[in-house]
Copies of this chain bind each other. A is one copy, B any other.
Amino acid sequence: MSDVAVIGASMTQFGEREEWILGLLAEAGMACLDDAGVESDRIDHLYVSNMASGEFEGQTGVPNALAHDLSAMPAYTQRVDQTSSSGGAGIYAAWQSVASGASEMTLLVGGEKMTHRTTGEATDVIASLTHPVEYKQGVTLPSFAGLAARLYLEEYGAPRESLAKVAVKNHANGVDNPHAQFRKEIDVETAMEAPMVADPLRLYDFCPITDGSAALLFCPEEVASEYTDEYAVVSGVAGATDTHVVHERTDPTTMGGVVESGRQAYEMAGIGPEDVDVAELHDMFTILEFLQMEALGFAPEGEAWKEMDRGTTAIDGERPINTSGGLKSKGHPLGASGVAQGYEIYKQVTGDAGDRQVDADVGVACNVGGFGNCVTTAIMEGRR
C-alpha cells in the first residue's frame, strides 16, 4: 500500500472571530486547497472535525453546507466528533479514507465557534462530555487539571514554577505565530501571581476559549507527486481510550490513552520517541504537557519538568515542544485544535514554518479528548 501523504495545510486566525462556524471552516478549507494548488472538484471525501456546532450555534449538518460552499459536491462528507480531540480523530479518519483505497483526495477541516458564548456556557458544553456522576459533583475539566497538577507536584517534587515555565515557553513561541490568539510574552512571576482557578493552577495554566479553523489535505503518495515534491507522510497514526470516569484511574498522572496510542503509532512508523524531532502536545492545561511528554517517552515518569528545565523542549532545544505556541497561546477552538497541531507538524517537517522553523524531519501531534478519555497520536515525516 502507498503511504498517505499530506500535501497542503492552512489555519485561520485564532481568537475572537466575527464569522460563524461555516465561514471559519470555508476560510480554512479554501486556503488549504490554495496552499496545495488543488481544485475543489478533485476532493472526493470531506471530513469536518467539530464537537458542538449544534450546542454552540444551533446549527447541524455543517459538513453538507461546507461541501456546498467549497463546491466539493458530490464528495462524501461527514462530521468527526471526539470532543476536544475531534481534530486528531479527523486526521485518523482522513488517513483511513485514503489508506483504505476509498479516497484519492480527502480534505479535513476542523473548527469551532465558541466566543459568542460566555466562559461559563462554553465550560458547561465541554463538561457535558464527562461522566454524569462526576459532572453533578461539580467536577469540570479544569478541576481535574488542578487535582492532577497537585498530585504531580507532590509525588515528584516538582516546583510550582515548573508549570508556570510551560506557559512562559509556549507564550514565547506563540509570539512568532501570526495565527495565535495571544501573541505576548509572559514571565514566571506573572504566571505565578495570576488569579487562582483550580488550586494550584492559575489563569495562565489554562488555554483560552477560541474561535478558529484549520485544514489538511490528504492523498496517496503517488498522487502527491502530481502536485509537489515537498510534502509529508503520515507514517504512524492511532487512537486509544482511557477510563471515561477519571476517578477510576489507578494513577491519574499517567495518561493511559496517550501511552497506548503513542505505542501503536510508533510501532506503525517503525520508530521510537528518540527519533522524534518536534512535537505538538495538547497543553489545554500546563500540567498536560508534562504528562504527555512522559506518556510518549520523551521523559521518564515524573521527570518531564526536569527536561524542560534543561531546555530540551524550548524552540532551540533538542526536541522542541509546542513550537506553535500550543493551545496555551494559540488558542483551543475544540474541533480545530488537533488539525492545527497537524498543521504545525506539517509545516515543521516540510521546512515551511517561517520564524518558528526548527530542525525536524519527524514530528508528533498528540490530541487529547476529555481528560485523556480519548487520544489520537499522529506521526508525520517530511519528504523533500
Taking Cβ atoms with an 8 Å cutoff, the residues of A that contact B are 1, 51-52, 54-55, 58-61, 63-65, 67-68, 72-83, 89, 92-93, 95-97, 99-102, 125, 128-132, 238-245, 256-257, 260-261, 369-370, 373-374, 376
Chain B residues with CB under 8 Å of A95's CB are 100
- Asked whether B77 lies within 8 Å of A374 as measured between CB atoms, the reply is yes
Partner of A241, one of B67, B256, B373: B67
- Asked whether B81 lies within 8 Å of A81 as measured between CB atoms, the reply is yes
- Asked whether A74 lies within 8 Å of B240 as measured between CB atoms, the reply is yes
- Asked whether B102 lies within 8 Å of A374 as measured between CB atoms, the reply is no
Partner of A59, one of B58, B73, B97, B128: B128
Chain B residues with CB under 8 Å of A68's CB are 241, 243-245
Chain B residues with CB under 8 Å of A55's CB are 54-55, 60
A55 to chain B, nearest CB (A): 5
- Asked whether A64 lies within 8 Å of B129 as measured between CB atoms, the reply is yes
A192 to chain B, nearest CB (A): 33
A86 to chain B, nearest CB (A): 8
- Asked whether A60 lies within 8 Å of B65 as measured between CB atoms, the reply is no
A344 to chain B, nearest CB (A): 22
A96 to chain B, nearest CB (A): 4
Chain B residues with CB under 8 Å of A67's CB are 241, 244, 374
A146 to chain B, nearest CB (A): 20
- Asked whether B78 lies within 8 Å of A82 as measured between CB atoms, the reply is yes
Partner of A75, one of B82, B102, B240, B376: B240
- Asked whether A243 lies within 8 Å of B73 as measured between CB atoms, the reply is yes
Chain B's closest residue to A54 (CB) is: B55
Once bound together, how far apart are the Cα atoms of A131 and B73, in whole Å?
15
- Asked whether B52 lies within 8 Å of A60 as measured between CB atoms, the reply is yes
Chain B residues with CB under 8 Å of A79's CB are 80-82
- Asked whether B245 lies within 8 Å of A59 as measured between CB atoms, the reply is no
Partner of A74, one of B64, B65, B242: B242
- Asked whether A64 lies within 8 Å of B128 as measured between CB atoms, the reply is no
Chain B's closest residue to A58 (CB) is: B128
Once bound together, how far apart are the Cα atoms of A373 and B128, in whole Å?
29
Chain B's closest residue to A48 (CB) is: B81
Partner of A54, one of B97, B101, B128, B374: B128
- Asked whether B241 lies within 8 Å of A77 as measured between CB atoms, the reply is yes
Chain B residues with CB under 8 Å of A76's CB are 92, 238-241, 261, 374, 376
Once bound together, how far apart are the Cα atoms of A376 and B45, in whole Å?
12
12 chain-A/chain-B pairs, Cβ below 8 angstroms: A55-B60, A59-B128, A60-B128, A61-B370, A63-B374, A64-B244, A64-B373, A64-B374, A65-B244, A72-B241, A76-B238, A79-B81
Partner of A369, one of B64, B129, B241: B64
Once bound together, how far apart are the Cα atoms of A76 and B257, in whole Å?
9
Once bound together, how far apart are the Cα atoms of A107 and B238, in whole Å?
17
* Known pairs A61-B128, A68-B243 / 17 extra A-B pairs, C-beta < 8 Å: A1-B101, A59-B128, A60-B83, A61-B370, A64-B129, A64-B244, A65-B244, A68-B241, A73-B241, A74-B241, A74-B257, A76-B261, A77-B239, A77-B374, A78-B80, A78-B89, A78-B239
Chain B residues with CB under 8 Å of A257's CB are 74
- Asked whether B240 lies within 8 Å of A129 as measured between CB atoms, the reply is no
Chain B residues with CB under 8 Å of A74's CB are 240-242, 256-257, 260
Chain B's closest residue to A130 (CB) is: B61
A61 to chain B, nearest CB (A): 3
Once bound together, how far apart are the Cα atoms of A294 and B128, in whole Å?
43
- Asked whether A78 lies within 8 Å of B93 as measured between CB atoms, the reply is yes
Once bound together, how far apart are the Cα atoms of A60 and B79, in whole Å?
14
